[in-house]
Structures are given as structure tokens and as C-alpha cells.
Amino acid sequence: MKIGMNLLLWTGSVSDRDLPTIRRLKEIGYDGVELPIFAPDESLFSKLGKRLDELAISRTAVTIRGPEDNPISPERSIREKGIAATKAAIDSCAAVGAETLVGPFHSAIGVFSGAPPTRDEWQWGVESMQRVAEHAAKCGVDLGVEPLNRFECYLLNSHADAARFVREVAHPNCRVLYDTFHANIEEKHVGEAVRACADVLGHVHISENDRSTPGRGAVRWNETFDALAGVGYDGWLVVEAFGMALPEIAAATKIWRRMFDSEDQLAKEALQFVRGELARRN
């Protein structure tokens, strides 16, 4: 397995100014970084990719959708914007050399109808994702569909639902992202949640219950790592933590206070924790 660090702890708009941080993560021992792609730009990300090649560090990427480009909107024009926006993010993935694009791009984050998803919304989501997955395949990019807790979205909350969604998309480039933070809120049994999506599992986010340092909170880590080992998962494990660097998505992350000594210390402790958990199961 490869271990990565999500750069959302530092920034929501990665650029050359983040290269020192990425270099430090490489020196700490991370195999890769997860790049936020909230403003796709093939030219910018192509140049960044060359710099990352020089650092010899792998990369994945993350993106989101909002109300203006919601793939499950009842308005076709908004759904089309959602498809186009995710395709643009995929193009930037290919430009920067990111092998996987993950996130809750199945629907708009922080947008609610006041009711469970309708049959139409589900179908719109599946159809939108099918078109996105076809584009991803042409670009050589895999997708990781991320379910979120009930306070952040209403289409996909459980990993079983995410797996059902991906199976209906029925495209080899479209898989499920398992996130320990959201599982801690939504799943009654972690092992069952992992097994429910094992056949379509493509990516894992390692995130503590307070979105701070993994291993220092309430997530059921023994169950999590036992289950991942039990299903033979061998893909990316990406540490996802949040500080106060992203006021633009604070309404979704709900981070209002600093919960760690420093970003570097969090990254070091997180890597030590994940390596230790993996070593215990080898």
C-alpha cells in the first residue's frame, strides 16, 4: 500500500508556493500527496506536474461539486455543468499526473432538499457519473466516489449505498472511496461497512473523528485496519486532516478551532500511526 497526505490541511488551491510543503512530506516519508482541484487549469497543473516529477512523489487528487454544478439537480443545465466541471477536473488530473480523482462529486456538498434522495435524483447521479467515468477512462484516471455523513450531503451517506451507486454506474474506472471520518458517524459496524464495498473499493481516507491527528481520537482503528486487511485492500491510504486554512469550505468541514500543534507534526504522527497499524498486520 502507498500512503499519501491530503494537501487540504494547508491549502485549497495548490501551486508552486506549496512545493516546500510537498518536499517536506516527501522527506517525512510519504509516497504521495492528494491535490485539491477546485479550479481546474490544465496548463497550471501540467507545469506543477513537472515539478512534482522532479520531486519523485506520486499524486492523487480531490474535487467537489456545489449548488451551481450539482449533478443531481432537477435542472438539466445544472447537471450538465456538473458533468463538465468534473470532466475538467479529470483533465487537470491527467495534466498533473494524478492517477485517481476522489471526492463527493456525485452531488453538491452542503445542499439539502429536506427529504431523502428521490429515484430521479439517484438516476441523474448514476447517469452523470457514467458520462464522467467514460471521460476518466479516456484520460487514464480512476475515480473514487466518496459518501459523506448526513450533515454534508443526502445522496450517499453509507458505504453500502456508495457501493450500490458505483455498481449501477458499472464502469471499471469508477470505484468507492472509504472514509474513516464519515464511517465513524454513519456506520454501525466498521467491518461490515468495509466488506459492503470491498468489491468496488478503490481508495481510503484516513481521517480522525475530529479531523485532526489520526490515532489520537475515537475512530475504531483496530476494526478499520483489520477489515481492510481482511478484504485484501492494497491501494492508497491517504491521510485527510483539516485545520483553518480553508474558510471557503468551513461550512462543510465545520472546523472552528486549531486541534494540533503544527501541520508538520500532524503529518509525522499520522504517518507513524498508519505505518504502525500496517506493520501489526504483516
Give CA–CA dist 276/175, Å, rounded. Answer: 27
Residue of 121, 186, 208, 240 with catalytic role: 240
Residue of 146, 152, 208, 269 with catalytic role: 146
Give CA–CA dist 197/180, Å, rounded. Answer: 13
Per the DSSP assignment, residues forming a β-bridge with 203 are: 177
240 is catalytic: yes
| Helical axes 19-28 vs 263-280, angle rounded to 10° | 30
Closest C-alpha among 181, 176, 110 to residue 145: 176
- Using DSSP's 3-state secondary structure scheme, residue 5 falls into strand
Do the bridges between strand 142-145 and strand 100-103 make them parallel or antiparallel, or are there none, so unpaired?
Answer: parallel
146 is catalytic: yes
Q: Contact, 200 vs 237, CB < 8 A? A: no
140 φψ region: left (φ > 0), alpha (ψ -120 to 50), beta (else): left
User: DSSP letter string over 156-211?
Assistant: --SHHHHHHHHHHH--TTEEEEEEHHHHHHH-S-HHHHHHHTGGGEEEEEE--TTS
User: DSSP letter string over 64-104?
Assistant: -B-GGG-TT-SSHHHHHHHHHHHHHHHHHHHHHT-SEEEES
Instruction: Give Dmax (Cα) for the chain.
Output: 51
In degrees to the nearest 10, what's the CA dihedral of 3, 110, 250, 223? -40
Which residues are marked as active site? 146, 240
